[in-house]
């Protein structure tokens, strides 16, 4: 393999070793490995920076109180801002493939949530969803992006996005909820009925990764063994921190009932796109229509066939295409509380 080809190949390898975000690239990477010699040494930090650059993003940090936020930023700052929030056991790089399609048209911000990626928090940090939402608001204000903010959240990131939009309805321009967690009447997976089951998805020892991939992805791509081995090491190292977050999801499940959670959702005023994988085994697709019937200004749910819990990795082009169309339609609206043109 030439030096140029090897460099491009290593760009894609990067996010595998830092988060679940890279799973969508595994097939390409694995076949590249099959056709080339494995490098003896890889500078993973350099590689992930190169992949972010490929998506039009740069890496930044911002201290807000006791939290040092790590985030990616791209696009023209004079354009509308889109905030992308990742899910459980993940990082900002989950969104890289989608962000590549957004940065030419929007100002894009993707933070690592507390105890994910490179964001640093104190040892006694409160990981509850309400507190993480409040801390995210402080980050948003410090970054001066709070006005007319477009927010997208995947899985747990969608839960945080809903809490945010319900608390700051006048500041939220639009909302994308993708395979979003919560307390719903139509929950029919163990992971929603009892979030402690999410601990079955923790990667704590060698061999766990295959089970998790089969659960979160509908059609697991071919993955070279060396990539899986490196990937498992990262998840194993983070498993204790991920378990702490799962405990907070369980606490939220005990704090809210479907009725009280619905009350919270009814405070959301923003136009909302709902997107789901038809074959999602973690948060069943029926929840998409429940959200549609509950929210004030939903669009018709976009259901992606042959996609599991990770649409932004399994079908990033379809995600980006649908989301861009939604964003472009929403921007002319003067205020989600008063302008209802989109729904006529």
Q: What is the mean pLDDT of residues 30-48?
A: 55
List, in order, residues 6 or more apart from 338 with CB less than 8 Å away.
none
pTM above 0.75, yes or no: yes
Query: What residue ranges define each of the domains in the chain, with the CATH number in brackets?
Result: 58-333 (3.40.50.1820)
Give ∠ CA 85-91-96 in degrees, rounded to 5: 75
Split at pLDDT 50, 70, 90, the class of 182 is very high
Pairing of strands 107-111, 81-85: parallel
55, 22 in Cβ contact below 8 A?
no
Cβ-based neighbours of 116, under 8 Å, separated by 6 or more: 19, 86, 89, 90, 91, 241
More confident residue, 248 or 20: 248
Helices (H) and strands (E) in the chain, counts: 13, 8
Mean pLDDT of the chain: 85
- Rounded CA-CA distance 129/131 in Å is 5
43 pLDDT exceeds 60? no
- Annotate 234-268 with three-state secondary structure: HHHHHHHHHHHHHHHHHHHHHHCCHHHHHHHHCCC
Secondary-structure percent of the chain, ordered helix, strand, coil, rounded to 5: 50, 15, 35
Q: What is the pLDDT of residue 196?
A: 86
> What is the arithmetic mean of pLDDT over 108-130?
94
Strand spans (E) along the chain: 57-64, 67-74, 81-85, 107-111, 149-154, 172-178, 272-277, 302-304
Phi/psi region, residue 61 (left: phi>0; alpha: psi -120 to 50; beta: rest), is beta
**pLDDT tens digits, one per residue of 296-327:** 999 999 999 999 999 998 999 999 999 999 99
Residues 239, 267: contact at Cβ < 8 Å? Answer: no
Distance CA 225, CA 246 (A): 28
pLDDT band (50, 70, 90) for residue 110: very high
Q: How confident is the model at residue 22 (pLDDT cuts 50, 70, 90)?
A: very low
């Amino acid at each position: 393999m030439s030096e140029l080809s090897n460099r491009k190949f290593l760009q894609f390898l990067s996010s595998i070793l830092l988060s679940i975000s890279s799973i969508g690239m595994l097939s390409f990477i694995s076949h590249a490995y099959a056709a080339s010699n494995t490098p003896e040494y890889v500078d993973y930090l350099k590689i992930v920076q190169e992949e972010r650059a490929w998506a039009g993003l740069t890496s930044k940090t911002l201290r807000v109180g006791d939290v040092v936020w790590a985030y990616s930023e791209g696009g023209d700052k004079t354009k509308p801002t889109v905030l992308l929030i990742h899910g459980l056991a993940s990082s900002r790089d989950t969104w890289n493939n989608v962000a590549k399609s957004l940065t030419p048209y929007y100002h894009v911000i993707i933070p690592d949530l507390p105890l994910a990626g490179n964001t640093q928090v104190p040892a006694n940090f409160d990981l509850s969803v309400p507190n993480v939402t409040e801390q995210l608001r402080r980050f948003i204000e410090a970054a001066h992006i709070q006005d007319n903010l477009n927010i997208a959240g995947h899985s747990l990131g969608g839960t945080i996005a809903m809490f945010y939009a319900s608390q700051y309805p006048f500041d939220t321009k639009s909302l994308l909820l993708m395979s979003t967690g919560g307390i719903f009447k139509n929950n029919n997976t163990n992971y929603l009925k009892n979030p402690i089951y999410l601990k079955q998805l923790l990667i704590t020892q060698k061999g766990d990764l295959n089970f998790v991939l089969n659960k979160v992805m509908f059609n697991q791509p071919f993955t070279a063994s060396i990539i899986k081995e490196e990937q498992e090491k990262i998840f194993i190292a983070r498993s204790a921190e991920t378990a702490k977050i799962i405990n907070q999801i369980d606490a939220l499940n005990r704090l809210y009932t479907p009725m009280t959670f619905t009350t919270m959702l009814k405070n959301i005023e923003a136009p909302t796109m709902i997107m789901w994988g038809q074959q999602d085994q973690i948060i069943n697709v029926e929840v998409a229509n429940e959200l549609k019937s509950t929210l004030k200004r939903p669009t018709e749910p976009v259901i992606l066939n042959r996609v599991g819990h990770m649409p932004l990795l399994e079908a990033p082009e379809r995600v980006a295409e649908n989301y861009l169309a939604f964003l472009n339609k929403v921007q002319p609206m003067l205020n989600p509380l008063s302008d209802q043109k989109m729904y006529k």
